């Protein structure tokens, strides 16, 4: 939004490349295709909830990620009647836009993003063709590089995005059955995770003791890098475990101050394979914008020559409590409040 680039609806726009999404039927999902008629009708009903296009997770499912309860939930007849007036709007939700390319396409350039005339000309194109929403105040900053110097945040992208999505797919009964993951396997993974807690050193912090789709970012990170490779082994089907391990290895390289410099090409290769296999395993409808952005993650590591933890939001999130407590007295003008109180503190201690 701050960069003045269109939200990734699929027609455009990834903030890094000019990929165009593909509009697909919800039933194109490989997992859904294997399901029975009743399951398909449930999926379609869920996908018809308002506000479900774009990033691709429907409202009903997104709620279930928090509660873990999705088994055969039906929309009450009363609710169906209420939503009749939205018939036209909901009928469009049977299709979703997905990013099906496994390679990043033509990259954006900093010069293009900063060119005011280029932006204005772009905005005159049809809405499905344009990439920009307007000019941005950030363009006034001298030397700013809107494309290359706006790093992806792996805390939200990988930890809170991809990892939690993977876990929710494994534990949700409908998708779990279609992925041929045994219920006992999930119980075994939970038992292993619980048993291993006493052996984990304190510096590892808050590690998860069971599979949940509402982990905090630190829990998802600990699972991806340390716990998952151990507790998932021989419990998930090999192809799913191998796919998870590719993501785990890639992020492990990205998080290591040494490896991120010497093995960034391997990280890039692993992430491409992860995205490609993810498509094959979980289907078209799971190829959301987060998955596409995995293709660009290694570029940031290479550009900054720094580990992912250095360029992620983990650093800032650790200070949010402090900022909310000591800097913000209300929700209006947070930046101005922070600046003024920070200056006052600096004056006091100088």
How many other CB atoms sit within 10 Å of the CB of residue 279? 19
Backbone angles phi, psi at 21, to 5 degrees: -75, 170
CA triple 46-49-53, angle to 5 deg: 100
Position 14 contacts Zn ion (CB under 5 A):
yes
> What is the nearest approach in angstroms of Zn ion to the Cβ of residue 312?
19
Nearer to Zn ion, 19 or 236 (CB): 19
> What is the nearest approach in angstroms of Zn ion to the Cβ of residue 108?
8
d(CA 57, CA 65): 10
Write the binding mask 286 to 315 for Zn ion: x where contact by CB under 5 A, - elsewhere: ------------------------------
Q: Are 313 and 320 in contact (CB under 8 A)?
A: no
> What is the nearest approach in angstroms of Zn ion to the Cβ of residue 149?
16
Position 16 contacts Zn ion (CB under 5 A):
yes
How many other CB atoms sit within 10 Å of the CB of residue 43? 21
Nearer to Zn ion, 104 or 229 (CB): 104
Binding-site size, Zn ion (CB under 5 A): 5
> What is the nearest approach in angstroms of Zn ion to the Cβ of residue 188?
38
> What is the nearest approach in angstroms of Zn ion to the Cβ of residue 316?
24
Nearer to Zn ion, 16 or 164 (CB): 16
Q: Which of residues 75-134 bind Zn ion (CB under 5 A)?
A: 104
**Which span (10-18, 42-50, 61-69, 90-98) binds Zn ion, by CB under 5 A?**
10-18
How many other CB atoms sit within 10 Å of the CB of residue 259? 17
Position 155 contacts Zn ion (CB under 5 A):
no
Q: Is 4 left (phi over 0), alpha (psi -120 to 50) or beta?
A: left
Position 163 contacts Zn ion (CB under 5 A):
no
Nearer to Zn ion, 17 or 311 (CB): 17
**Which span (15-23, 74-82, 118-126, 141-149) binds Zn ion, by CB under 5 A?**
15-23
> What is the nearest approach in angstroms of Zn ion to the Cβ of residue 137?
24
**Which span (11-19, 35-43, 226-234, 248-256) binds Zn ion, by CB under 5 A?**
11-19
Nearer to Zn ion, 20 or 216 (CB): 20
> What is the nearest approach in angstroms of Zn ion to the Cβ of residue 158?
16
Q: Is 205 left (phi over 0), alpha (psi -120 to 50) or beta?
A: left
> What is the nearest approach in angstroms of Zn ion to the Cβ of residue 292?
6
108 Cβ neighbours under 8 A, 6+ residues apart: 15, 16, 17, 18, 147
Position 19 contacts Zn ion (CB under 5 A):
yes
- Interface residue with Zn ion, options 6, 10, 12, 17 (CB under 5 A): 17
d(CA 68, CA 222): 21
Shortest-Cβ-distance residue relative to Zn ion: 14
Q: Which two tokens stand for residue 235?
A: 């419990």
**Which span (12-20, 35-43, 199-207, 209-217) binds Zn ion, by CB under 5 A?**
12-20
d(CA 198, CA 176): 29
d(CA 111, CA 197): 51
d(CA 173, CA 56): 20
Q: Residue 287 burial by CB count (10 A; 0-12/13-18/19+): exposed, middle or buried?
A: buried
Nearest residue to 163 via CA among 96, 259, 65, 257: 65
**Would you tell me which residues interact with Zn ion (CB under 5 A)?**
14, 16-17, 19, 104
């Amino acid at each position: 939004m701050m960069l003045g680039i269109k939200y990734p609806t699929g027609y455009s726009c990834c903030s890094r490349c000019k990929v165009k999404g593909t509009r697909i039927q919800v039933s194109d999902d490989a997992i859904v295709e294997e399901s029975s008629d009743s399951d398909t009708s449930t999926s379609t009903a869920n996908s018809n909830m308002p506000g479900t296009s774009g990033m691709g997770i429907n409202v009903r499912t997104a709620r279930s990620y928090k509660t873990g309860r999705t088994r055969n939930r039906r929309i009450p007849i009363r609710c169906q009647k209420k939503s009749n007036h939205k018939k036209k709007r909901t009928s469009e939700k049977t299709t979703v836009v997905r990013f099906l390319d496994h390679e990043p396409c033509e990259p954006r350039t900093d010069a293009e993003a900063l060119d005011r005339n280029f932006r204005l000309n772009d905005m005159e194109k049809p809405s499905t063709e344009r990439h920009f929403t307007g000019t941005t105040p950030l363009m006034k900053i001298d030397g700013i590089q809107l494309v290359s110097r706006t790093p992806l945040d792996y805390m939200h992208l990988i930890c809170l995005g991809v990892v939690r999505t993977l876990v929710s797919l494994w534990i949700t009964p409908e998708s779990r059955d279609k992925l041929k993951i045994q219920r006992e396997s999930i119980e075994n993974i939970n038992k292993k995770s619980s048993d291993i807690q006493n052996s984990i050193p304190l510096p590892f912090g808050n590690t998860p003791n069971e599979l949940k789709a509402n982990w905090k970012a630190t829990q998802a990170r600990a699972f991806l890098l340390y716990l998952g490779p151990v507790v998932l082994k021989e419990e998930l089907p090999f192809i799913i475990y191998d796919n998870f391990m590719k993501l785990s290895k890639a992020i492990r390289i990205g998080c290591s101050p040494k490896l991120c410099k010497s093995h960034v090409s391997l990280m890039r290769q692993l992430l491409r394979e992860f995205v490609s296999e993810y498509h094959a395993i979980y289907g078209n409808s799971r190829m959301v914008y987060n998955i596409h952005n995995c293709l660009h993650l290694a570029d940031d590591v290479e550009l900054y020559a720094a580990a992912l933890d250095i360029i992620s939001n983990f650093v800032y999130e650790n200070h949010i409590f402090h900022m909310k407590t000591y800097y913000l007295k209300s929700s209006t003008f947070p930046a101005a409040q922070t600046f003024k109180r920070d200056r006052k503190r600096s004056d006091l201690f100088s």
